[in-house]
Each structure stands twice: as C-alpha cells, then as structure tokens.
Amino acid sequence: MDFDHSPRAQALQQQLETFMQTYLLPHNAAWHQAVQQGDYPPPFLEDLKALAREEGLWNLFLPGLREDEPGTRLGNLDYAPLAEAMGQLHWAAEVFNCSAPDTGNMELLHRFATSAQRTQWLTPLLHGTIRSAFAMSEPDVASSDPTNLQTTVRREGDDLVLNGRKWFITGVAHPHCRLMIVMARNAPDHSAAAETRHHQHSMVLVPLDTPGVDVVRNISVVHHHAPEGHGEIVFRQVRVPADHLLGGWGEGFAMAQARLGPGRVHHCMRTIGQCELALALATERALERRTFGKYLADYANVQEWIALSRIEIDQARLLVLRCAWLLDHPERTEPAALRAQVAAIKVVAAGLQTRVVERAMQIFGAMGLSPDTPLAQFWTWGRALHLLDGPDEVHLRSVARHELERARARMGASSAYFTTPEQMRTPPHLR
Ligand SMILES: Cc1cc2nc3c(=O)[nH]c(=O)nc-3n(C[C@H](O)[C@H](O)[C@H](O)COP(=O)(O)OP(=O)(O)OC[C@H]3O[C@@H](n4cnc5c(N)ncnc54)[C@H](O)[C@@H]3O)c2cc1C
C-alpha cells in the first residue's frame, strides 16, 4: 500500500490551505454573525464559490467525473488531505462544492441517473447552483435498519405518489435546496423481486416545491440549530412523474449502500481535520494558561491527554487513508472486506472526535463550552457522528459479521497453535 499523495494532490492541498487562509478565515467572524442574524447563507458565499471555481478548487471529491463535467477527478486517497483541511472550518466544504449531502447525492446521480435526470439535477449540482437532501430516516420506525422504512411510493398511471414522514433530513432548510432523493417503500407490488426484504424500497427524485411536501420543522441537534436544517418532512399525496424514479423499482436499498461508501469516508476525513484543530487549540491554550503557579501544559494529566489525542488521531488517519486507498483499488480486496473497512473507520472517527474534542474542552475550561471557540460545535457534530449514516452498533455488527465470516471460512486453521495435542483437534463441525 502506498499512501503518498500524488504531486498534483500535494499542490492542490497547498493551494487549498492558502485559499482558506486568504479568503475564508478572514470571513469567519462575519459568517457566524450573519448566520446568527438569520442571514443564511451570507451574501459573500457565492463570491467565494466563484473564486474557488476559478482557481480549480471545485468538486474535488468525485473520481469518475466525465470530461465535460467540472472538477478535479482526484481519487479518494488524494482527496483525503483536502477534505481534512476543509473539515477545520465547518462552512468551508460548500465553498468548494464538496459538502454533504450533495457529494453523496452527486455520486448517486452520477452512477444511476438517466440522461434527462442528469441534465435536470446532476448538472446544476455539479455547478453548485442548487443544493439537495437525502431523505431516508423516519420518526416512526428504527431507521438504522432501512428495511423498516414505511413512507410509501405507489405507481399510479404515469405518476409516482408518495406518502409518509421523514426526519433529520440534512440540508432542506438551505435556501438553494431544490431536490430530495427520497427512499420509499414500494406500495403493494407483486413482482418476484418485491418478495425479498432488500428489494422493497425505491429511490425517487422529489423537487422540494412539489405540492404535498411540507417541511414542518428544523430539528436542533444537542440544542445546536443548524441553519441548513435537519428537517422533519411530511409527504401527503406527493405526485411526481414516473420518470423521477432513480435506478430501478425496488433497487433503493442497493443504491443506498453504494451512496454511503465514499460519503462515510469523507465524514471521517473531515473529522481528522477537526480533531487536529482541536488538539492545536488545546496545546496552545495549555502553554499559556496557568493555575497554582504552573502552566496547564506542565500537569501530567494534561500531557497524557495531549499524547493520547496525538496517538489516536494518527492511528485514525492511517485507517482512513487505508480505506481511501482501498476505495481507489477495489480489485485489491473483496467487496465485503471493503464494506467492513468503511464501517470500522466510521466507528473510529466518531469516537475519536468526541474524545479528542472533549479533552480540548476540558483544557479550555468554561470557554470550551462557549460559542467563542469551534470546540462546542465540533463536539456536537462528533456526537451526531455516532448516529448519522448509521449508529456505531450497526457498523460494529458489520465488522463482527465480516470477521466471523472469515473465521467460518478458515475454521480449524488456527488450532495448530494450541499448545497441547488434545486441543489440536479437528473442529466439531468437521469431525
Ligand atoms: C445530525 C444528524 C443528521 C442526519 N442526517 C440525515 C439525513 O440527511 N438523512 C437521513 O435520512 N437521516 C439522517 N439522520 C438520521 C440518522 O441516519 C439516523 O438517526 C440513524 O440511521 C439511526 O436511526 P434512528 O435514529 O431511527 O435510530 P434507531 O434505528 O431507532 O436505533 C436506536 C439505537 O438502537 C441501537 N441499535 C440499532 N441497531 C442495533 C444493532 N444492530 N445492534 C445493537 N444496537 C442497535 C443503537 O444504539 C441505536 O442508536 C441524521 C441524524 C443526525 C443526528
């Protein structure tokens, strides 16, 4: 495995970091002020997007872009340090047209959209003129198991009709959000495919302004109000033309799996950036703050927190890079092994973020919980990461299942390592 970033990616990293220092950070205070006053997104966002695009810092995440589509066509490994840098400023990714959930939706459209759907939705998303949301989770069922989802879609003549309720749908309050990709249960369908649990759902492209779509509230997360929104949405007899089906009827589940692969890795890359920043803030604070005649940095417990944070960040980065490398080289591993890798780093990243940021908050004292540093927001996001794109427990289950599958396949091969002849036995199921 080679984790070296290509010379082009290294140059882009340098360019992106300079861009952030020169144009984004000077706007950071103004950004927060504007958002607090309800002026979201602040008027300078579009200027910054135009500037980023002019500099070639645009759609940095999508390796499979076509020749006529704007973007850098970097692989996942090359994208990692760029996403890490963007992660340090929570509004940066949008400037480079690299923010979730648009990135995942663009990937999905890229892979499964018809040519008409590409023109209508993918092109404006790639150009950053609209934004989008992905609507899967529902308040009434345990959504970590998507086979539970109850919102229905039924075929009626040349239309598709949706009914149900979704929640925590990120991005729907963004004033430029125009499209939702909705995962819905196929209303009574007697085709053979509909008989299996994993073929009962379809994805439908629903314009946000379709009659019957009602965004009933923006749900705050740990009392944090996200201006782009985590919306609760009711669908009442929402009617769209049949050609708004994305992919095949009943293929929603498989497409959702495809969508979440690189998207999860992007979250983890941004996490590493946030943790690096939290550690940088904490170490500088520890070197200047004194209690009982000593700098905080002189206390053993603070040194241990700093050391653990450094070790854990570096461990996590290596895992993330390995996962990105495997995504770029699918021929080097089994699909099941790759899925287990993605699941593993999602758990690692969530735990890393809450631990590293919490230590930093403690070093900062009360200020760490205030809105004056980015730490409280990073912690809140870390807490959400334990759930969004699937709870830790579900990912741990995937990792364990993969490991047990491997054990089943080699059953007995390890018994030669037992130390007594009685134990070097044929496993029960092979006797
Ligand atoms: C900030 C934020 C943004 C989000 N954005 C979106 C979005 O844009 N679109 C969208 O569709 N959804 C979004 N979500 C929702 C998120 O995907 C779901 O919350 C998640 O999938 C879990 O579903 P649930 O909340 O229904 O929990 P449930 O499915 O009810 O699970 C509850 C708990 O049960 C436990 N559990 C579940 N399964 C297992 C298992 N197999 N083994 C052991 N324990 C288990 C876990 O501890 C889990 O936390 C977002 C959530 C948050 C917090």
CA 389 to ligand 1 center in whole angstroms: 7
**Could you tell me if the CB of 398 is within 6 A of ligand 1?**
no
Same domain for 271 and 396, yes or no, is: yes
349: left (phi over 0), alpha (psi -120 to 50) or beta: alpha
**Could you tell me if the CB of 167 is within 6 A of ligand 1?**
no
Same domain for 72 and 97, yes or no, is: yes
Structure confidence at residue 373 (pLDDT): 97
Tell me the pLDDT band of 55, cut-offs 50, 70 and 90: very high
**Could you tell me if the CB of 401 is within 6 A of ligand 1?**
no
Atom of ligand 1 at shortest range from CA of 141: 26
Same domain for 242 and 268, yes or no, is: no
| DSSP state string for 65-133 | --TTS-S----HHHHHHHHHHHHTSTTHHHHTT--TTHHHHHHHHHHH--HHHIIIIIHHHHTTS-EEE
**Could you tell me if the CB of 135 is within 6 A of ligand 1?**
yes
Residue 14: give its domain's CATH number.
1.10.540.10
Q: Atom 2 of ligand 1 has which residue's CA nearest to it?
A: 388
Same domain for 232 and 315, yes or no, is: no
Same domain for 97 and 160, yes or no, is: no
- Is residue 160 in a domain? yes
The answer to whether the beta carbons of residues 362 and 302 sit under 8 Å apart is no
- Is residue 279 in a domain? yes
- The tally of domains found in the chain comes to 3
DSSP at 164: E
Atom of ligand 1 at shortest range from CA of 136: 11
- Is residue 118 in a domain? no
**Could you tell me if the CB of 169 is within 6 A of ligand 1?**
yes
Same domain for 260 and 369, yes or no, is: yes
Atom of ligand 1 at shortest range from CA of 221: 1
Same domain for 214 and 139, yes or no, is: yes
What is the rounded CA–CA span in Å between residue 120 and residue 409?
Answer: 47
Structure confidence at residue 2 (pLDDT): 85
Residue 286: give its domain's CATH number.
1.20.140.10
Out of 246, 267, 290, a domain closes at: 246
- Is residue 119 in a domain? no
Same domain for 283 and 229, yes or no, is: no
**Could you tell me if the CB of 263 is within 6 A of ligand 1?**
no
Please choose from 138, 143, 206, 386 the residue to mutate so as to test ligand 1's pocket, defined by most ligand atoms within 8 A of CB. Answer: 143
CA 144 to ligand 1 center in whole angstroms: 5
Same domain for 408 and 344, yes or no, is: yes
**Could you tell me if the CB of 230 is within 6 A of ligand 1?**
yes
Element (H, E) at 239: strand 230-241
Same domain for 241 and 325, yes or no, is: no
**Could you tell me if the CB of 137 is within 6 A of ligand 1?**
yes
User: Is the pLDDT at 429 greater than 70, yes or no?
Assistant: no
**Could you tell me if the CB of 384 is within 6 A of ligand 1?**
yes
CA 375 to ligand 1 center in whole angstroms: 24
Residue 153: give its domain's CATH number.
2.40.110.10
Q: What are 186-200's pLDDT values in tens digits?
A: 997 655 555 587 889
Structure confidence at residue 194 (pLDDT): 54
The answer to whether the beta carbons of residues 207 and 240 sit under 8 Å apart is yes
408: how many CB neighbours lie within 10 A of its CB? 9
- Whole-model pTM: value is 0.94
Same domain for 160 and 227, yes or no, is: yes
- Is residue 348 in a domain? yes
- Is residue 96 in a domain? yes
- Is residue 320 in a domain? yes
Please choose from 218, 387, 394, 398 the residue to mutate so as to test ligand 1's pocket, defined by most ligand atoms within 8 A of CB. Answer: 387
Out of 216, 246, 276, a domain closes at: 246
**Could you tell me if the CB of 181 is within 6 A of ligand 1?**
no
Q: Which runs of consecutive H residues, i.e. helices, occur in 289-334?
A: 300-328
**Least trusted range by pLDDT, from 20-24, 146-150, 300-304:** 146-150
Q: What are 367-416's pLDDT values in tens digits?
A: 999 999 999 999 999 999 999 999 999 999 999 999 999 999 988 888 88
Domain containing 176 equals 131-246
418: how many CB neighbours lie within 10 A of its CB? 11
Q: Atom 48 of ligand 1 has which residue's CA nearest to it?
A: 391
Q: Atom 45 of ligand 1 has which residue's CA nearest to it?
A: 393
The answer to whether the beta carbons of residues 82 and 20 sit under 8 Å apart is no
**Least trusted range by pLDDT, from 79-83, 279-283, 420-424:** 420-424
Structure confidence at residue 376 (pLDDT): 97
Out of 178, 211, 246, a domain closes at: 246
